[in-house]
Amino acid sequence: MGGDFAPDSTLQGAALACKELPEDVTLVLIGEKDLIESKLEAYNLGSANIEIIHADDVILMEEHPTKAFSTKPTASIPVGYKLLKSGTVQAFSSAGNTGAMHVGAMFTIKAIEGIIRPGIAGFVPKESGGFGVIIDVGANADCKPDVLFQFGQIGALYARHVFEIENPKVGLMNLGEEEQKGTLLTQAAHQLFKINSSMNFVGNIEGRDLFNDKADVIVCDGFTGNVILKMAESFFDMLKSRNINDPYFDRFNYEEIGGSPILGINGNVVIGHGVSSALAIKNMVLLSMRMAESNIHLKIKEKFRE
């Protein structure tokens, strides 16, 4: 029920996803049941692997996340988190209120023990093919060195188990490659990475290294990451407005990625764009399925038990 074009684009995207989901996978739609059923019928979107779970209310995009989550327990986002916590569903995704999605993760399924702050991961297309992971892209505008170090660990696990990169290279976003460059934060974080042998740390990287193969995982605070991600997404919009088509830059289209996972929590959660189209919803669902198949949250949990 969340998103600027819900429920229409959500249901159309769900129908597209069902065409690509394995037969033994069920897609659960959470929201006003009568409305969902009528929309599915109107669009002729019936599918054997769709299940509907009723939710009485909706957290609107402009509502205060914490207040709305606590005062609307029967809205679709709180209901989705209850299903995830109980194990009824293996992944939960939404293009609804981003803040409510993040608050819900922290209040309901909570951070994995040992994780200081969960982060939101973004993806950058590599010139050689595939995608790199950038973390954080908005959850934590201010970070401490140990938080950045954990982002490196979490991002490397995601790259290994979801993108199947055997020994992912981890780079620290900075304003120069030299070890002594950067802010007090990045200088201190660099030392934490340097003395730890559990990661394939390649040192500092610069903005020009985003799209090459120097690093598979790019670590930064949420403020920096959000600016980088939004700037990268703008490339696609600018090229399209000038009628320039290029297969590589088409991969900057947010619709092709679908959404951003919250990593470091006890469950698989993907946050979609508020303006998500049907194509974006489809890819958000497929990304959620891949996360569930990889059991990435359990891989992260195992790592932090060591």
Could you give the residue range(s) of every CATH 3.40.718.10 domain in the chain? 1-112+265-282, 116-263
Q: What pLDDT, on a 0 to 100 scale, did the predictor assign at position 267?
A: 96
**244-281, pLDDT tens digit by residue?**
999 999 888 888 889 999 999 999 999 998 889 999 99
**29-60, pLDDT tens digit by residue?**
999 999 999 988 888 877 778 999 999 999 99
Token pair 């209901």: residue: 79
Kind and range of the H or E run holding 171: strand 169-173
Token pair 């609804």: residue: 96
Q: How many CB atoms lie within 10 A of CB 272?
A: 29
Could you report how far apart the first and last alpha carbons of the chain are, in Å? 40
CATH fold of 1-112+265-282, please? Isopropylmalate Dehydrogenase (3.40.718)
CATH fold of 116-263, please? Isopropylmalate Dehydrogenase (3.40.718)
CB 151 within 8 A of CB 219: yes
**113-166, pLDDT tens digit by residue?**
999 999 999 999 999 999 999 999 999 999 999 999 999 999 999 999 999 999
Q: C-alpha angle with apex 239: 234 to 245, nearest 5 degrees?
A: 130
Residue 116 tokens, joined: 């200081």
Kind and range of the H or E run holding 233: helix 222-241
